[in-house]
Chains A and B, each alone.
Chain A
Amino acid sequence: MKDIDRKLYETLSPKMQPDAELNRQILNLAKEDHIVTMQKNKKRKHYPAVAAAAVAVLLASSATTYAVVNYMSTKEVAKETEDRKLEAAFSSGKAVSLNKVQEQKGYQVRLLGMISGKDLSDYEVTDEEGKARDDRTYIVAAIKKTDGGILGEEDFFASPLISGYRQQDMNIATLCGGATSFDSEDRTTRYEIIDTDNIEPFADHKIYLAVQNGGFFDRDKNGQQGYLYDEKSGTYSRNTEYDGVNALFELPLDASLADHKKAEQILHQIEKDQKEAAGETETESEKTVYEFMSGLTPENIGEYATPLESTRLTCKPDSEGMVSWSYDMGKNGQAQGKESMDNLFPDGSCGMSRCLGYTNADQGLEDLYIHTFTLNKDGSVTFLVYVPKK
């Protein structure tokens, strides 16, 4: 043998060992249920030999689930979104591998894995107050057509649900969540990473992941919603009447992770966010205007407000029963609009309409303009703006 040959044989002789953990992850593919799932619609020969050969090739392992063939792993999904931190998190061994499957209406939804914790992502999430929400849960799912066909523009929506809380109160939006999705290169698989505030504090409840077609808890064409909530037990179930995809997975969280104090804090935050959204924490200016207008009537308007004669306008309703108005608000610009005669004068009585409109900016009563409409005997309508007396 030549010297070069000897050197190459010696030097290149395989010495590199894969990690035991790496082999364990692959070994789990040899588990019977995974292979059954993988090979669902395929012809297979030497089926047991594959499992046996794979096990023989690799080291023995303890159970570790891993994504089946033809699916990206959770870390690969994270990598594809260029989130290095999340990729590392899913590689860390702290992630929970799931591999749960449901099929409805020609689609297969597969739950691949999840992880919760602080600072797991390169992408910072902030709430409306600009506060960082860095203690998050990340759930990875994949959606395919059962016939393996190419996905089109179908929309899918995913959200956690927590037993004991109605979906309108506890969902991806109230948990300050979002979703990142992309299609595989061959466009047969859609991958989703759903991220929300950390749901582990609720681990002593049943926690689900709902995945349905369409948008935010859309109803189907018959008005059916995707999920049913049992008020007594607080549990969720799929609505079998729903005409679409409505997968519902129960997430296997360790109940010992529950933290009632943190859960309370999350609930408090949700309540606060919801109140703000509903306008219950409106500004002082808005409150003042609202209170003023609430007490104003055609009978007392003269007591509390002054007419701006420059805005007086009399016109006849148009053929559609609409009255047009406009006026100059000075530094606040021009205002204009149309009102319906039916709304203003439902019983056709002459006099000032009880519907008093208004416009204002954010200066409270300072820039409040009150719109009045008066039906005249000849059928015309007089428009006149009032401003609050100082």
Chain B
Amino acid sequence: MERYSKDIYSFCCYLTRNQQEADDLYQDAFVYVLGTSEFPEDDEDAKNLMLSVALRQWKDKKRKYARRQRILEESYIPREVAKADMAGTDSVEEEIIRQEEVQRVRACVEKLPEKMKVVVLLYYMENRKMTEIATMLHLPLGTVKSRLYKSRELLERELLSGVKGGHDQ
């Protein structure tokens, strides 16, 4: 159950790219769900509900605050990342390399168009099935599959070009 809150919070962090907004979104999503008439008893269903609510609220917020400038935290590193990444490493140098790769992958995911990023986060971060993602986003299954496939291609290309650039130096 502890992982539950971590999952939702991590999702909010990646959606918003801003810690304060992530806190707000996380809080709002829970507050909203508490006000609904039914809360699923099944863990996975409950998680799906929370994620759907967070997504919907995020879309509403973006529409509402569209006129305001958002200050992106360029070097935003979610909490606990450093600790978790440090676990099980053999040397400082290996760890630094590993962390660089982690940051590179994350940066590439960040750059994805929003529609694709959401699908990637739900699939890889939240371990949702494609059918579940389709239900949550009110999309045809084919659309979800297509967005996931295109996202993978984009990310592969982006990561490969990054590696090549490094070698050229």
Q: Could you tell me which A residues sit within 8 Å of B by CB distance?
A: 2, 4-5, 7-19, 22-23, 25-26, 29-30, 35, 38-39, 42-46, 49-50, 53-54, 56-59, 68-70, 73, 76, 185
Given contacts A7-B159, A8-B105, A22-B27, whether A14 and B125 have CB atoms under 8 Å apart is: yes
Given contacts A56-B1, A57-B4, A69-B32, whether A4 and B156 have CB atoms under 8 Å apart is: yes
Q: Which residues of A contact B36 (CB under 8 A)?
A: 50
- Whether B5 lies near A50 (C-beta < 8 A) is no
- Whether A13 lies near B125 (C-beta < 8 A) is yes
A-B residue pairs in contact (CB < 8 Å), sample of 13: A7-B101, A8-B109, A8-B155, A15-B78, A16-B79, A17-B6, A18-B6, A23-B5, A54-B33, A57-B5, A69-B34, A73-B27, A185-B64
B51-78 residues with Cβ-Cβ distance < 8 A to A are 64, 78
Interface size class of B (residues with CB under 8 A): 35 or more
Shortest Cβ distance from residue A52 to the other chain B in the assembled complex, whole angstroms: 9
User: Does B31 touch A at the CB level, under 8 Å?
Assistant: yes
Q: Which residues of A contact B95 (CB under 8 A)?
A: none
Q: Which residues of B contact A18 (CB under 8 A)?
A: 5-6, 9, 23, 26
Cα A53 to Cα B31 in complex, Å, equals 13
A-B contact count (CB 8 A): 123
- Whether A26 lies near B31 (C-beta < 8 A) is yes
Chain B minimum-CB-distance residue to A27: B30
Q: Which residues of A contact B11 (CB under 8 A)?
A: 14
Q: Could you tell me which B residues sit within 8 Å of A by CB distance?
A: 1-7, 9-11, 13-14, 22-24, 26-27, 30-39, 41, 46, 64, 78-81, 84, 101-102, 105-106, 109, 120-121, 124-126, 152, 155-156, 159
Chain B minimum-CB-distance residue to A51: B34
- Whether B9 lies near A17 (C-beta < 8 A) is yes
Given contacts A7-B105, A16-B6, A45-B37, whether A54 and B30 have CB atoms under 8 Å apart is: yes
Q: Which residues of B contact A19 (CB under 8 A)?
A: 23
Q: Which residues of A contact B109 (CB under 8 A)?
A: 8, 11-12
Q: Which residues of A contact B26 (CB under 8 A)?
A: 18, 22
Cα A69 to Cα B39 in complex, Å, equals 15
Shortest Cβ distance from residue B55 to the other chain A in the assembled complex, whole angstroms: 16
Chain A minimum-CB-distance residue to B120: A8
- Whether B78 lies near A59 (C-beta < 8 A) is no
- Whether A58 lies near B5 (C-beta < 8 A) is yes
